[in-house]
Structure 1
Amino acid sequence: MRFRFPALLCLVALHVLPGAARADDKAQARVPLLPAYKQECGSCHTPYPPGMLPAGSWQRLMNKLGQHYGTDASLDDATQKQIGTWLAANAGTYKRVREEPPQDRITKSAWFIRKHDEVPSAAWTRAAVKTPANCGACHPNASEGAFNEHDVRIPR
């Protein structure tokens, strides 16, 4: 049997790519959002998946809820502990998230900037978007922690 190069390439891809896809899935697996987190944090902004920041960033954010980016987001002690523990347990540990971004802002992280480099700068100031932190403006399933780039719809 004689293989032509494209056929051989397809066979190699069938054996190599599934393992690569599984490894990537594990690194970016979605964690179901903790109901208290979704309720408390999601009442003001997108309840960002915990894997978007490293544990150190989440810890600093949880320790400064009284001054949460200009807003008092204080919680009762039990809720703060529950959410903080969950965030720490599910924080990002894979390569792109290990680096703590400036001001612990997801939108200032190197990976966020890289993933959004094709978004025209004018898009961030449109009335329906207003800020890069408004994930739901372009990612219709952001509140569920889903950010598939195939679902993106940038408002005009």
Structure 2
Amino acid sequence: MKKLLLILPFLLVGAVIIMADDDDEHGHHGFNKLGDVAVANNTVYQKECGSCHFAYQPGLLPKRSWNKMMNELDNHFGDDASLDPKTTNYLKNYLIQNSSDNSLEYKRSKKITSSIASNQVPLRITKTPYFIHKHNEIPKKMITQKDVGNIGNCVACHTTADKGIYSERDIKIPNYGGWDD
């Protein structure tokens, strides 16, 4: 019985260490099940924005960027994406409330926010310093190929992007396979 009492603390500590180091299928530790950014699960956002392109998670840009973008929907990257005022206001509030600077509990949102100078207002996620740093080693031919198209097509390579998870272990570049820098 004394041996069991002596061994028990070591077994408990060992179990805690194993659990803390036990990545789930998305590379997240047992104690923290948050994704890299909050999932964009708003149905209005999915319908209005996701019908034209991937519904980028609000946590990928700061509130000042979303505010400017929603104020300029008549020229949304060359297209008129204007919405009625009620829907525009609703979506602007959703995007601002869930922006990177309001989602600092998420790893990538925090890193994106800290990478952007306070006087910068990036409208493209791909122009944020954090994004550029994370993608700078990818050969251009992998990005411009037909099955990817451009650097902003997250879901082409990030197999769990729709879940807000951008882990390297979930990257599968079409026609090339996994990526590890």
Is the TM value for this pair above 0.5?
Answer: yes
Matches within 5 A, 1:4-153: 14=17, 28-93=36-101, 94=104, 95-98=110-113, 99=116, 103-153=122-172
* Kept in 1: contact 2:125–2:131 (CA 8 A): yes
**For 1:43, what is the secondary structure of its paired residue?**
coil
Q: Which has the larger radius of gyration?
A: 2
Q: Partners of 1:33 and 1:83 in 2: how far apart?
A: 12
Q: TM-score, normalised by structure 1?
A: 0.77
Which amino acid counterpart does residue 146 of structure 1 have in structure 2? I
Which amino acid counterpart does residue 52 of structure 2 have in structure 1? C
| Higher-helix-fraction structure | 1
* Identity between Structure 1 and Structure 2 (%): 37
Alpha-carbon offset, residue 131 of structure 1: 0.6
Distance 1:120 1:34, change over 3 A: same
- Indicate the RMSD between aligned Cα atoms, in angstroms: 3.1
Q: TM-score, normalised by structure 2?
A: 0.68
After superposing the two structures, state which structure 1 stretch, 84-93 or 118-127, moved more: 118-127
**For 2:100, what is the secondary structure of its paired residue?**
coil
After superposing the two structures, state which structure 1 stretch, 97-106 or 29-38, moved more: 97-106
